[in-house]
């Protein structure tokens, strides 16, 4: 069974939702017809990093709305789709292949979230850790890392800048 551990809470991913959908499909019901009425009915498809994304009806916002879902947890690393311009323009320089990758990834995430929102699906992007670009860590290592080279959230620069970077994340120019 695939799951993520978030502190002591285990969140069951797509396998449970897919199992419910498969069982109800065999019985001739839709997932919404087979489930109790809940204020929040979220969908989450867990794509495995480094592998091709799953092709599933659980990525179709129209079908999700018809099944009674009212929210989506995109398994995308939205904090990997920012340029860091307002923090340091040298992290992903304009014209670099790294910058092009970030901008392409941002467009992909924006398109997915927009398609969900168009069907009334509120989106709550998933994350279990913060991803910092290698160039940022290399440049600010002395200020944000411990003696072993690990990002240390108790360091003054990390406490000040990382939360600021995360807040900036809503802006593609940030």
The Cα 21–Cα 4 span in angstroms is: 21
Sign, Cα dihedral of 56, 58, 61, 64: positive
Compute the average pLDDT of residues 104-130. 87
Structure tokens at 121: 């699906």
pLDDT of residue 168: 47
User: What DSSP designation does 4 have?
Assistant: E
Helices (H) and strands (E) in the chain, counts: 6, 5
The Cα 61–Cα 145 span in angstroms is: 41
72-81, 113-122, 132-141: the lowest-pLDDT one: 72-81
The Cα 78–Cα 170 span in angstroms is: 9
Q: Classify burial at 11, counting beta carbons within 10 Å of its beta carbon; exposed 0-12, middle 13-18, buried 19 or more.
A: middle
Domain boundaries, the chain: 42-131
pLDDT of residue 94: 94
pTM: 0.66
Question: Does the structure show a pLDDT above 90 at 126?
Answer: no
Reduce the DSSP state of residue 43 to 3 states and report it: strand
Measured at the CA of 22, the angle between CA 19 and CA 27, to 5 degrees, comes to 125
- Helix extents (H) in the chain: 14-26, 31-34, 61-66, 97-118, 134-144, 156-168
Name 65's Cβ contacts closer than 8 Å, sequence gap at least 6. Answer: 119, 120, 121
Compute the average pLDDT of residues 26-53. 70
Question: Does the structure show a pLDDT above 50 at 148?
Answer: yes
The Cα 56–Cα 155 span in angstroms is: 43
Question: Does the structure show a pLDDT above 80 at 3?
Answer: no
């Amino acid at each position: 069974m695939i799951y993520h551990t978030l502190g002591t809470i285990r969140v069951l991913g797509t396998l449970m939702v897919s199992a419910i959908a498969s069982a109800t499909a065999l019985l001739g019901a839709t997932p919404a017809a087979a489930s109790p009425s809940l204020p929040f009915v979220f969908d989450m498809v867990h794509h495995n990093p480094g592998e091709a994304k799953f092709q599933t009806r659980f990525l179709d916002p129209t079908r999700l709305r018809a099944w009674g879902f009212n929210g989506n947890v995109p398994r995308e690393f939205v904090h990997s789709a920012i340029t860091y311009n307002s923090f340091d323009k040298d992290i992903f320089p304009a014209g670099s292949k790294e910058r092009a990758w970030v901008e392409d990834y941002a467009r992909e995430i924006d398109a997915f979230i927009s398609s969900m929102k168009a069907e009334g699906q509120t989106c709550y992007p998933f994350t279990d850790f913060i991803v910092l670009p290698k160039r940022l860590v290399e440049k600010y290592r002395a200020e944000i890392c411990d003696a072993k080279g690990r990002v240390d959230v108790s360091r003054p620069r990390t406490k000040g800048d990382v939360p600021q970077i995360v807040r900036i994340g809503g802006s593609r120019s940030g």
